[in-house]
């Protein structure tokens, strides 16, 4: 068994795809047309870090309730964890791409960590080895 996907509510598909693929280096696994339960057009968009099993379903907010959750899916705490092989290179690449870091790199017992915001404003840990 495994967790295949987690959903991330975003404002629009294309800027979110660009953030995850161009900035974080994820693969665009799928981008297919789909429909809501009441027949409106939407897309099934999945991104995944290279070699990872679990992906992210980028879900465009549908309605005010979902729009209110954009950027606050885990009540303001870090809810997503992105482990990289080369922390310093990933950090430099993300800074050059104007990613917002809310906590600068530090060393913890579990590795190097810096907190950043995704395109929607959710907090992520960028993690690497010590």
pLDDT band at 48 (very low <50, low <70, confident <90, very high): very high
Beta partners for 45? 31, 58
Distance, in Å, from the CA atom of 78 to the CA atom of 123, rounded to the nearest integer, reads 5
Count the neighbouring beta carbons within 10 Å of the beta carbon of residue 51: 6
Q: What are phi and psi of 89, to 5 degrees?
A: -65, -45
- Name the token pair of 41: 């057009």
The reported pLDDT for the residue numbered 40 is 87
Distance, in Å, from the CA atom of 35 to the CA atom of 23, rounded to the nearest integer, reads 28
The reported pLDDT for the residue numbered 35 is 84
Architecture of domain 71-130: Roll (3.10)
On the question of pLDDT at 30 being above 90, the answer is: yes
Nearest Cα neighbor of 31 from 21, 44, 41 is 44
On the question of pLDDT at 38 being above 90, the answer is: no
Q: Name the fold adopted by 1-70.
A: 2,3-Dihydroxybiphenyl 1,2-Dioxygenase; domain 1 (3.10.180)
Ranges in the chain annotated CATH 3.10.180.10:
1-70, 71-130
Q: What is the mean pLDDT of residues 11-21?
A: 98
pTM, two decimals, is: 0.93
Nearest Cα neighbor of 123 from 89, 55, 73 is 73
**Mean pLDDT (the chain, rounded):** 96
Distance, in Å, from the CA atom of 95 to the CA atom of 56, rounded to the nearest integer, reads 22
């Amino acid at each position: 068994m495994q967790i295949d996907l987690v959903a991330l509510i975003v404002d629009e598909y294309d800027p979110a795809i660009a953030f995850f693929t161009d900035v974080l280096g994820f693969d665009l696994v799928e981008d297919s047309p789909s429909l809501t339960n009441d027949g409106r057009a939407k897309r099934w968009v999945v991104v995944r870090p290279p070699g990872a099993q679990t992906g992210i379903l980028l879900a465009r907010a549908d309605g005010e309730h979902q729009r209110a959750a954009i950027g606050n899916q885990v009540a303001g705490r870090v809810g997503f964890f992105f482990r990289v092989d080369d922390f310093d290179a990933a950090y430099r690449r993300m800074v050059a791409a104007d990613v917002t870091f809310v906590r600068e790199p530090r060393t913890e017992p579990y590795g190097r960590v810096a907190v950043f915001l995704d395109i929607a404003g959710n907090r992520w840990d960028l993690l690497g080895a010590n």
